[in-house]
Amino acid sequence: MKTLVAFIDRLIPSDELGPGAVASGAQIYIDRALAGPNASEKDTFVQGLESVDAYAQRVHGAALAELSAEKRDEVLNEMIESPFFNRARILTLEGMFSDPYYGGNKNFAGWDLIRYPGPRPAVAAGDQALNADVKPYRMSAYGIKYGH
């Protein structure tokens, strides 16, 4: 989990545009996915994390979580063509931009980032106008207990 957090924290960092993947709980989404619906890829994914740490150790002298943000960015860049990077990125996007019901996208930080106004019960024609400034509808499809 430490390595995963150190990794996705650089994929989508917290900055002046708002919370990043970790602050939004993407790691919770990934953890739950690998424990359940994505269990078949869990071993491969964990091995991928281990090899990231082994690489960081060998090339940069410490496990990923022990490296500075700049060094971690270097590691990510160096492995950007690898299947693990691609898969970790996809799972992080799923966590960050899915319904908060799944554990990520806390306070709708992911949807705010890309300016997605959220599922709503009915969409008026004006909500589909070009350049419309649609007021975000902050509601999980599974009800207010998952965030509103």
Partner 1 sequence: MAISLKPADVVVIGLGAAGGVAVLPLARAGLKVAGIEAGTWMDPHLDFHADEVYNNVRRLVTSSSKAQRECPTVRATTSQQARSAGVHPMMNAIGGTSIHYWAQSWRLKPWDFRTRSESTRRYGPNSIPAGSTLEDWPLTYDELEPYYDIIEQEVGVSGKAGNIQGRIDPAGNVFEGPRQREYPMPPLRGAGFTDHMMDAARELGWKPFRPPAAINSQPYRGRNPCVFHGYCSAGGCHVGAKNSTAITTIPEAVRTKHLTIFDKAQVTRIITDSNGRVTGVNYIRDRKEYFQPAKIVLLAGYTYENSRLLLLSKSKAYPGGLSNNHGQVGRHYFGHWVSNVSALFPYDINVWYGLPAQGVTVDEWADDSFDHAGLGFIGGASLHVYTERHPIDAAAMNTYGRAPLFGSAWKKFVHENAGRVASTYLQTNTFPYETTFLDLDSEVRDPLGDPVCRITFGGVRENEQRALQHAQNKMEQWFRAAGAIEVTKPPANGPRISTHAYGGTRMGDNPETNVVDRWGFSHEAPNLGILGASVMGSSGARNPTLTLQALAWRTADHLVKNWKSLAG
Applying CB under 8 A, the residues found at the interface with partner 1 are: 10-13, 15, 17, 20, 37, 73, 76, 80, 89-90, 93-94, 96-99, 101-102, 110-111, 113-117, 119-123, 125, 127-132, 134, 141-142
Closer residue to partner 1 in complex, CB, 63/134: 134
Closer residue to partner 1 in complex, CB, 53/75: 75
Residue 60 Cβ vs partner 1, minimum distance, rounded to whole Å: 18
Cβ–Cβ under 8 Å, residues 101 and 32: no
Q: What are phi and psi of 18, to 5 degrees?
A: 125, 180
Closer residue to partner 1 in complex, CB, 28/134: 134
Q: How far apart are CA 14 and CA 112, in angstroms?
A: 13
Q: How far apart are CA 144 and CA 131, in angstroms?
A: 29
Cβ–Cβ under 8 Å, residues 138 and 131: no
> Tokens for 101?
């019901």
Q: How far apart are CA 59 and CA 82, in angstroms?
A: 17
Closer residue to partner 1 in complex, CB, 45/102: 102
Residue 49 Cβ vs partner 1, minimum distance, rounded to whole Å: 16
Residue 43 Cβ vs partner 1, minimum distance, rounded to whole Å: 19
